[in-house]
Amino acid sequence: MKVRGSEVLNGKYTARNTPKRKWIPYPEGPYYNNETCHWIIDQQNCIKFGRPDSEFLQWRWKPDECELPIFDATQFLKLVKGKKMVFVGDSVGINQMFSLLCLLSDVSEPKDISMKHTSDRTYFKRFYYAEYNFTLANLWSPYFVKSSDADTNGHSYDSIMKLYLDEVDEAWANQIEDFDIVIISAGHWFFRPLLFYENGELVGCNKCGKQNVTDLAHYYGYKKAFRTAFRTLISLRRFKGVTFFRTFSPSHFENGDWNRGGKCIRTKPFTKEEMMLEGNFLETYLTQVEEFKAAKKDAIKRGLQFNMLDTTEIMLLRPDGHPNNFGHAKDKNVTINDCVHWCLPGPVDTWNEFLFYMLKLGHTSFG
């Protein structure tokens, strides 16, 4: 199936003929660079660590029959003045948060107030823009639900985990009512070996290799975790915020999996004739979108706004946007290439152009 634009109708993915919907050359380049923004973490600071090409910085997304507005940091800050915004999920969500910090840095620099709220400043960060009384934060929860290590050898990149699919992770749920704008996303952590629990009972797994345990694939846990997350947001009595659900962003490992020498060395986007949304990525995308659509109906009944930032197809076309092996100094003993996260600056900045556009449209009625 070649993808020429797409939509989901009644849970089914269909193609639309949208030839103008694509990444187009943009010679003006990015809004910032690694010298003008000090918020870029080393793992995503591709230019600092020697990435030799720069063409990946010179593209913009062109929607069908319209133009995506240029990001305006001043207007963005005016839209969120007096509000609190939080990214809930995994490190790709944090990637987007640091992109936003850089996009706003041309106008205003926040104070890092993380230590006032947590002892874990690596995974739980808060920034305060005093001039706008605006707080930007992240709450680390890669599964949304309660989890624990199941491997007797301890935690590692691919050790097996227990997920309690009907029990929300209180690390984010206990704080979320304090926020006005929630951007929620998750993905790659669900591909690892997992044991699925419901009502305290083991019901299946993903890649666990255990006898007498049904392998339900990652879609099962993914679906149930999003269901628990959305239901939590809807059921919390004090939560009056607007929720933006950002869809899954695909990885681009080639010539091997992430732990078997896979790389992402391409230097320009795919065309839609070269890459299609299908198989595992398509099923993962549809799984979360189905849960979102069901949750949105319930959210409307409660007077809540649920919106979708659809980034899956556009990022599938950007194999050139990842750090690969340019997310660290060459003398570091790092053997795994990063084809999951995104260079800063890079195509991930487009997600915040989407967010800015939706905020401008008025998807921000609070309480």
How far is residue 137 CA from its own chain's centroid? 14
**Does pTM surpass 0.85?**
yes
DSSP at 200: T
Residues of the chain with pLDDT under 50: 1-17, 365-367
Q: Round the average pLDDT of the chain to a whole number and report it.
A: 91
Return left, alpha or beta for 108; rule: phi > 0 is left, psi -120 to 50 is alpha, else beta.
Answer: beta
Please give the CATH number for the structural domain made up of 42-365: 3.40.50.1110
* d(C-alpha 99, C-alpha 93), whole Å: 10
pLDDT at 12: 43
Per-residue DSSP letters for 229-277?
A: HHHHHHH-TT---EEEEEPP-----BSS-TTTT-B----SPPPTTT---
pLDDT at 178: 95
The alpha carbons of the chain give a radius of gyration, in whole angstroms, of 20
* d(C-alpha 6, C-alpha 10), whole Å: 13
* d(C-alpha 225, C-alpha 219), whole Å: 10
Contact (CB, 8 A) for 236 and 176 = yes
Q: Which residues are catalytic?
A: 91, 338, 341
Tokens of 326: 């340019």
Tally of CB atoms within 10 A around 64: 13
